[in-house]
Chain A
Amino acid sequence: MSLLANILVDGLAFSMVLFLIAAGLAMTLGLMRIVNMAHGMFAMIAGMSTAALAKAGAAPLVAALLSIVLVAILAAPLERLLIRRFYQRSPMDQMLVTLGVAFIASAVASALSGPFVVNVPLPAAMTGTFEIMGRSFPAHRVVVVAMGALTMLALYVLIEKSRFGILVRASVERAGIAQSIGINTGVIYVVAFMAGAALAGIGGILGAELLPIEPTYPTRYLMVMLAVVAVGGHDTLLGSFVASLLLGTASTAMKYIYPEFSSLIFFGIMFLMLKLKPHGIFAR
């Protein structure tokens, strides 16, 4: 297989992992204007819960679905009791408080399950490798690519086309007017936050083969998630999607051509884009 084909295939797979772990963050940031540094925490909890449920005998798919529901439920009191008090505060305050939440989550996870990587089980259909054009390819990566594209599509419909999307945007843009015309903004916020957490859970579980679940997860991959959102811009999900493709493919290409520089190119692009397009790829 040629170098170019390798770069495209691996780059696409890597990009979709990036998108899956960052999509929820991009969504809450774009819709709710909240910088949630604790985003990775939901991914970690979902991963750990999947592992625990599977260990207790649940089928991997059932364990994963239950865990995604679980993090969505956990997100509700967090939004009601803590996050909502910070909607009107500065982004710095939001970052500090959510980072604090992430640190607490890491410490609790470490105390409960030890500082180890937990095994998030794969359904049988996702294990093993198969051949595409003469090279072997992990089956779970194919699922990740499909899920990445599917997530993008679902979110697009939800936010841009559905009534829910309109309500959320109205609640955020003009909270007072939204309330005065009878929109229950409190409910809208909590549901949107729960959806973000569920997305994090999906990303955590699906990405676990590449980004192993362990107690330092929430901060370990924070930089990567933030890079995607920073390059993509906080207004459009499509921006984050394209940013994932750009960062993922470029760093994968570098891994083939000049391994030592693969991180440099990742953050180099982030730096350049913030310089040239500080408000995101599609900002006007």
Chain B
Amino acid sequence: MTRSKLVLSLLLATAAHAHADVVVGIVAPLSGQLAAQGQAWKEALEAYQKSKGDTVAGERVRFVYKDLPDVNPAKARAVAQELVLSDKVQYLGGFVYTPNAVAASQVATLAEVPMVIFNAAGVGINDKSPFVVRVSYTQPQLTIPAATFLMENGWKRVATLVSDYASGTDVEKTFEKAFTSRGGQVVSKIRVPLDNFDFGPFMQTIKAAKPDAIVVFTPGGAISIGAVKAYKENGLDAAGIKFLGLAGEVDEAGALKALGKQALGVYSSNFYNPTSESPQNKEFRADFSRYAPGVDISPIHTQAWEGAHLIYQMIAATKGRKDGKAAMKAVEGMKWIGPRGEMLIEPGTRDLVQSIHIRQVVEVDGKAVNKGIRTFERQPDWSRKE
């Protein structure tokens, strides 16, 4: 389909459906390796609607889902198009992987449909389209505060261990630059192939280098679990070497559930602090427990929760009419306090300025919990600053 034809059909499509529900299309992994993430978003969106109601400005809001389990830009573009054309969505949301988000952003631009990225953390996605806004994070946003935190504690000799793919090697470079510029020293750098499942040898190598701490980036699930287990089993913990995870190492919805008390003591840098005593977080957790009982609340849930918040604001500002430009204008520069803390959609970049929390796994009532121990407020997307 050519561009002009696409635009034309979009215009016809929207004209014909002026008075239907406001439909929001969520592109998420509902099957495959990351199905847990898609599932968590769904739980959060359902809980949000039960908590805040499903009508905004007199219009009923309805979420529809499309499964996109892996990195597949062509398919991402296709499902975004299908959502816009067939499901008549006024908003797009979701997106785990950066390449998928970038591909779908073309559709957002052409159809002038605001697109709220829940997760994809690659640098510069928002530059691809003026209709893209992000409620997730960028990896440097988590990495830079981690470097500061290590230096604050006098842990100046650090080893890095990252999964060997683009995001991992980016983290390795970002961290080294930030850490050495603060006076720290990276004594060992290891890149682990993605199909590896025995971390023992890497941990032995690191142990021999006698660092103060080890900084880890792994993509979550079985791989992250393996890294934490090997850290403990090879006695790095006992030797006083700290473990700081920058990704899924002790994620509440995945690895931490399986690791339980084996993860005690592990530090992580994240945009959500489950133990925050702020009224907003308490209310969020109370709401969540009421409407999605039995679910272990994770940072992933807050992504969709805040995404829904943003979409509701946009619908309110445009009174349910399809007006992508006005909707985007309404949230640019928007400031609010959510479960994660103070949030700002930075004017110009439409990236999130937010609090970053260093957490440590502790035992609370017999359960392993990520407890916030240090908060860095108003952290920008550091990739644009450092």
Contact = CB atoms under 8 A, between A and B. Distances in A.
B190 A259 contact: yes
A262 B36 contact: no
A7 B208 CA distance: 14
Interface in B30-58: 31-36, 39
B197 A262 contact: no
A223 B193 CA distance: 15
A117 interface: yes
Contacts of A221: 197
Given A210-B226, A252-B198, A255-B198, A136 B36 contact: no
Contact of B198 (A210, A216, A220): A210
B226 A260 contact: no
A221 B257 CA distance: 22
A243 to B, nearest CB: 17
Contacts of A137: 233
Interface stretch (A33-41, A42-50, A108-116, A276-284): A108-116
B145 interface: no
A123 interface: no
A164 interface: no
Contacts of A260: 164, 191, 193
Contacts of B257: 116-117
A214 B193 CA distance: 20
Contacts of B193: 259-260, 262-264
A52 to B, nearest CB: 14
A214 B221 contact: yes
**For this complex, into which size category does the number of interface residues on chain A fall?**
35 or more
A102 interface: no
B124 interface: no
B201 interface: yes
Nearest to A110: B35
A191 interface: no
A119 interface: yes
A14 interface: yes
Contact of B222 (A13, A117, A223, A255): A117
A117 B235 contact: no
Nearest to B229: A209
B7 interface: no
A135 interface: yes
B234 A116 contact: no
A165 interface: no
B333 interface: no
Task: Name the residue among A114, A117, A135, A137 with the largest chain B CB count within 10 angstroms.
Answer: A117
Given A136-B235, A262-B193, A263-B196, A115 B39 contact: yes
Nearest to A253: B201
A116 B204 contact: no
Given A138-B233, A260-B191, A252 B201 contact: yes
A119 B36 contact: no
Interface residues of B, number: 35
Interface in B321-350: none
Contacts of A79: none
A272 B106 CA distance: 45
A138 B262 CA distance: 13
A43 to B, nearest CB: 14
B186 to A, nearest CB: 15
A162 interface: no
Given A118-B258, A252-B198, A259-B202, A135 B225 contact: no
B233 A129 contact: yes
Contacts of A252: 198, 201
Contacts of A14: 198, 200
B336 to A, nearest CB: 32
A120 B12 CA distance: 56
B222 A220 contact: yes
A41 B86 CA distance: 39
B171 to A, nearest CB: 15
A214 B204 CA distance: 27
A30 interface: no
Given A117-B222, A117-B225, A263 B195 contact: yes
B99 interface: no
Contact of A255 (B33, B39, B201, B255): B201
A212 B222 CA distance: 6
B13 interface: no
Contact of B258 (A116, A129, A211, A223): A116
Given A259-B191, A263-B193, A212 B226 contact: yes
A212 to B, nearest CB: 4
A211 B201 contact: no
Given A110-B35, A263-B196, A10 B190 contact: no
Interface string A213-236: 010100011010000000000000
Contacts of B201: 6-7, 10, 252, 255-256
B36 A114 contact: yes
B297 to A, nearest CB: 15
B229 A262 contact: no
A255 B202 contact: yes
B205 to A, nearest CB: 6
Interface string B95-109: 000000000000000
A17 B196 CA distance: 13
B16 interface: no
A252 B198 CA distance: 9
A129 B260 CA distance: 18
B190 A135 contact: no
B221 A117 contact: yes
Interface in B276-319: none
Interface string B180-204: 0000000000111101111011101
What 8 pairs across the A-B complex have the smallest Cβ distances? A136-B235, A255-B201, A263-B193, A138-B233, A117-B258, A115-B35, A212-B222, A115-B36
17 contacts: A10-B201, A13-B200, A117-B222, A117-B255, A119-B258, A129-B233, A138-B200, A209-B229, A210-B197, A210-B198, A212-B222, A214-B222, A216-B32, A252-B198, A255-B202, A256-B205, A259-B191
